[in-house]
Structure 1
Amino acid sequence: MDYIILDIEFNGRKFASEHPMEVIEIGAVRLDASLQFKDEFSALIKPIYFSTLNSFIKKKTGIPQEDIDVADRFPKVITAFRAWLDQSPDGVLLLTWGGEDMKRIIQDIRMHKMDDAYWMEATYFDLLKGVLRARGLSNDISVEGAMALFGLEPSGSAHRALDDAKMTAEIFRAVFPELDFERSQHYVDTFSNARERKTVKIAIKAMTSQKIVPTWELVAEHYFPGEDALADPRKAAELQAYFAAQLGKK
């Protein structure tokens, strides 16, 4: 089995919009079972929405607008990426830094009305969580922070997909003996975001400190005001389950 260290970049926006953010770059490194480099994949993608990169994304990634203008669309790139993944005859384990990369890829596959079966069935390992568990850390760290943690020298350009994948591969090699691959997983649709889940944790902490017994009804009423905050019943159910899980830890 080969290890595929995957990273993406996506276009952002400075204002609220009904249009989704899209993947604009995919970078990946293939390591063999001995963690030796085999090959790499890199491609830019021209998005449907927000195809003109805003100043923040251009500064963050360094991706030239003219390169985006001539890039292929997502369906062609993801098809080429799948073909590249299939060059591993004994299968692959995808490694990501956090869960956002898988979410964005699947979102774009669905937006383009492509079959998402491969990606829903793909096994991946969240290396960020693996590092946090291995080192007993409670707060997320960046790839650059993890490089410093393991005494590794950063290389390339941060926030370019292939360079980030290469640095993540170095972290993977460094922490490999400490990783629990039993925690490999498959993508599961989520309807809440990290900010909303953090709000639940803040609510429990605040009510506990005020000697108020935390209940989901109080959290929903006081920390998610407004008619639309929990309008999606899937989001409401997910956050309520998250509340119960966090309360159980207390």
Structure 2
Amino acid sequence: MNYIIMDLEWNQPFSKELCLTMASGLKFYGEIIEIGAVKLNARFEIVDFFREFVKPKYYKKLHPMVKKITAISRKDLAGGIPFPEAIQAFRRWCGKDSTLMTWGNDDVPVLCDNLEFFDLDKSWAADWYNLQTIFGLQTGNGTEQKSLQFAMEYFKIPCERRLHDAFNDAFYTAQVCSHLDLTKGVGNYDRFLRLQREQDVRRHSGAEPYHSLISTERGRYPSKRAAFGDRRFAAVHCEDCGIHEVPAGSWMRQSNEKYIALAHCERHGTFLVRMKFRRVKGGMDVHKVVWRATEEMIQLYRNLAEKSRQRKEPFRSVG
């Protein structure tokens, strides 16, 4: 058995109007432009590396924010290969007896979206391990999501390569894993996952199954207030019809770095949107994620809203 620590970077359309639709009816928000991976053997030892730039077919022009965050250039993409070829090479490199591992819950949904959009088999990506979960439970951080940078600092791993690079992120994730008991983590993962899902119902840490994910979007702002004040970014659009702009309303704080809100569409129901902030030089990186809201998510939001009302500390979007 091999374990594949995978990280992806993806491009996004310049506007909602330019966003393509998958056969399932969901929007195609991220076209993969880089695949980075580290292969571990059955003893969780590093045995090989993989990196491939993908030449985009649909979102050919790099979104300015993606270019800024990832530092990927047009030259990198021009030298890339088409996604079907890249995935074929990646799967061949992984081998038949292998399992994916990622840091967080964003990469596999995007991978599955790309496989679906290119009409490729995605069954092989159905089972995977979220290393954030194992890290959190083995370091006393519970199921709360922690960034890769946080984990590196926790284990005093020096950052000598640029983050938000698929290969570098996979490499540093492997370094973090060298400090974890992956044998125990993998062996008890089902129990860990049940615990995480129970926590998600109460706290919504963001670990929803990929089929409930509607969209992801990244931005960079000088402050949290500036992000909430950007009406286009802070708004939530109905992802089914692509027409209705649904106001995000009041944002409720989950933690110092996460805020959630509910958005409603009369035709298509309720969505939950989360903004996650990460302080960087000169401002804040913002990762906005939208899910189709379950009853548990709606109740979670209501509970946070009630606590906020009692404290009289709501964070409302500007404008």
TM above 0.5: yes
Quote how far apart the aligned CAs of 1:247 are. Answer: 8.9
Contact residue 155 and residue 163 of structure 1 kept, 8 A? no
Give the equivalent residue in structure 2 for 1:62. 71
Following TM superposition, by how much is the alpha carbon of 1:180 offset from its aligned partner in structure 2, in angstroms? 5.3
Cα deviations across residues 155-196 of structure 1 (Å, max 9, x unaligned)? 3221111111010001111122663543257x6522456999
State the alpha-carbon separation in 2 of the partners of residues 100 and 129 from structure 1: 13
Report the CA distance between 1:77 and its aligned residue.
0.4
Deviation sequence 1:34-85 (CA, Å, 0-9, x none)? 3322111110111222211122222211112122123111111001111111
| Residue identity matched to 1:189 | H
User: How far is 1:144 from its partner?
Assistant: 1.3
Which region of structure 1 is more displaced relative to structure 2, 157-166 or 10-19? 10-19
- Give the whole-Å Cα distance in 1 for the aligned partners of 2:187 and 2:102: 13
Alignment of 1:90-101 (within 5 A): 91-101=97-107
1:33 and 1:228, CA in 2 relative to 1: closer, same or farther beyond 3 A?
same
* Structure 2 segments unaligned to the other structure (5+ residues): 21-27, 194-208, 217-233, 237-247, 255-260, 272-290, 304-319
Describe the superposition over 1:196-231 as per-residue Cα deviations: whole angstroms up to 9, x where unpaired. Answer: 9xx9xx77x9xxxxxxxxxxxxxxxx9433425617
Partner of 1:172: 177
Distance 1:111 1:37 in 2: 32
Q: Aligned AA for 1:57?
A: V
SS, match of residue 179 in structure 1: helix
More helix by share: 1
Q: CA–CA distance in 2 between the matches of 1:56 and 1:63?
A: 11
> Matched residue of 1:104: which SS?
helix
- In structure 1, runs of 5+ residues without a counterpart are 206-221
What's 1:217 paired with? none
Correspondence for 1:148 among 137, 150, 153 = 153
Contact 1:97-1:168 at 8 Å conserved across structures: yes
Distance 1:67 1:173, change over 3 A: same
Contact 1:28 1:165 in 2 (8 A): yes
Percent identical residues: 24
Distance 1:84 1:223, change over 3 A: closer
CA contact (8 A) 1:155 1:167 kept: no
Match status 1:40 vs 2:49: yes
> Which residue of structure 2 aligns with residue 240 of structure 1?
295
Deviations 1:104-136 (A, max 9, x none): 11100110111222223xx31101122222223
Q: What CA distance in whole angstroms lies between the structure 2 residues aligned with 1:191 and 1:38?
A: 33
Which structure ranks higher in relative contact order (CA pairs < 8 Å, sequence separation ≥ 6)? Answer: 1
Please give the residue correspondences for 1:170-249 in structure 2 after superposition, counting only pairs within 5 Å: 170-176=175-181, 179=185, 181-183=187-189, 189-191=211-213, 223-228=262-267, 230=269, 239-243=294-298
SS where residue 76 of structure 1 aligns? helix
Q: Is 1:136 the equivalent of 2:115?
A: no
Q: CA RMSD in A?
A: 3.5
Q: How far apart, in 1, do the equivalents of 2:16 and 2:211 lie?
A: 22
Count, aligned residues: 224
1:126 is aligned, of 119, 127, 130, to 130
Q: Which residue of 1 aligns with 2:258?
A: none
Aligned partner letter, 1:39: D
TM-score by length of 2: 0.60
The letter of the residue matching 2:211 is D
Q: Structure 1 CA distance, aligned partners of 2:63 and 2:302?
A: 41
Residues 174 and 231 of structure 1: CA distance in aligned 2, closer, same or farther (over 3 Å): closer
C-alpha distance after superposition, 1:15-52 (max 9, x if no partner): 32432221110010011223322111110111222211
User: Cα distance 1:44–1:247, how it changes in 2: closer, same or farther (>3 A)?
Assistant: same
CA distance in 2 between counterparts of 1:190 and 1:226 reads: 16
- The residue that corresponds to 1:2 in the other structure is 2
